[in-house]
Amino acid sequence: MAIITKITVQKKNTDRYNIFLDHGKGEEYAFSVDEDVLIKFNLKKGLELDDFAFMEIHYHDDIRKAYNLAVHFLSRKMRSEHEVRKYLSEKEVEAPVIQEVIHKLYEYRFLNDEEYALAFVRTQMNTTDKGLEVIRRELKEKGIVPTLIEQALEEYPLERQVEKATELLEKAFKKGSRDSERIVKQKAEQHLIRKGFPFDVIQVAAETIDDSKDVDEEMDALRYQGEKVHKKYAKYEGYEYEQRMKQALYRKGFSLDMIEVFLEEKKEL
């Protein structure tokens, strides 16, 4: 048995108290506890502590310290339960303590995966250009269960998805002035797929805009790409040169008729 001989407030952290004990060899510092633990166990001068009491006090103090860590972590922004568990685990908090902390966080409404998922979808929808599939994957990575994910994704209506996909397509077409119409469309669709937009949404968006180039625009793009390819194959002559040029420019999405026009232009130079 040990007897508490003195309790002092820590200078740098006034929510924690230093406990001094006498094990029969004089007073010495033993441990520190959170104020809540001090009150819970009614720690005071003259109180005797056995080994079981030590274990209980330390366990509850570990919970309190981990709880404070979690609350500070959550104060910056909303987090999922999975994120909090991962954070505490990285801080080397033991699993039983983490479980108790998670229970307390739910009890005091610091945690709510349903509300978190809804808020996450709304934020991504309003502040990013991510599509449904990317948001679904990110929620899964944050440990949100499938039922809550699908429920939250209903916050991102089809009309809004099409609107955002249309804006991204228009930007992609403007940037693709030096590519063939076919390549521009392919790159734009691939860009939207990487952003997480479902194919049916991309199709609807593509039908709402005019993504076709006029003949002059397509020819300008062909000339730009043609000059780049010419530098690569200028060492060849005659039939071999023409075949290599045709194959390369056809792969870049230009029609054979337009390629013939370009090659005739090159002959006249």
Strands 27-34 and 2-9: unpaired
Distance of CA 174 to the CA centre of its chain: 28
Residue 269: pLDDT band with limits 50, 70, 90:
low
Helices 238-251 + 256-268 axis angle, to 10: 140
Question: Could you tell me if 30 and 53 are in contact, meaning their C-beta atoms sit under 8 angstroms apart?
Answer: no
- Average pLDDT, stretch 170-195? 86
Say which residue the tokens 């999922």 belong to: 80
pLDDT for residue 171 is more than 90: no
What pLDDT sits at residue 121?
Answer: 97
Which whole-number Å values give the CA distances from 231 to 4, 234, 257, 268, in the listed order? Answer: 88, 5, 21, 17
What pLDDT sits at residue 213?
Answer: 66
pLDDT for residue 135 is more than 90: yes
| Predicted confidence (pLDDT) per residue in 54-97, tens digit | 999 999 999 999 999 999 999 999 999 999 999 999 999 999 99
**180 compared with 85, residue with greater pLDDT:** 85
What pLDDT sits at residue 136?
Answer: 97
Q: What is the pTM of this model?
A: 0.75
| Predicted confidence (pLDDT) per residue in 240-257, tens digit | 999 999 999 999 889 999
- Average pLDDT, stretch 115-135? 96
Q: Give the DSSP per-residue string, 24-93.
A: SS-EEEEEEEEHHHHHHTT--TT-EE-HHHHHHHHHHHHHHHHHHHHHHHHHHS---HHHHHHHHHHTT-
Domains of the chain are 2-76 (1.10.10.10), 113-153 (1.10.10.10), 158-207 (1.10.10), 215-268 (1.10.10)
pLDDT for residue 176 is more than 80: no
Query: In whole angstroms, what is the distance from residue 30 CA to residue 43 CA?
Result: 13
What pLDDT sits at residue 178?
Answer: 84
pLDDT for residue 148 is more than 80: yes
| Amino acid in position 175 | K
pLDDT for residue 23 is more than 90: no
Residue 175: pLDDT band with limits 50, 70, 90:
confident
What pLDDT sits at residue 160?
Answer: 95
Query: In whole angstroms, what is the distance from residue 67 CA to residue 110 CA?
Result: 11
| Predicted confidence (pLDDT) per residue in 209-243, tens digit | 766 667 888 888 899 999 999 999 999 999 999 99
- Across the chain, mean pLDDT equals 92
- Average pLDDT, stretch 200-210? 87
What pLDDT sits at residue 208?
Answer: 83
Which whole-number Å values give the CA distances from 62 to 69, 97, 115, 157, in the listed order? Answer: 11, 7, 28, 45
Question: Could you tell me if 208 and 166 are in contact, meaning their C-beta atoms sit under 8 angstroms apart?
Answer: yes
What pLDDT sits at residue 210?
Answer: 67
- Average pLDDT, stretch 162-170? 92
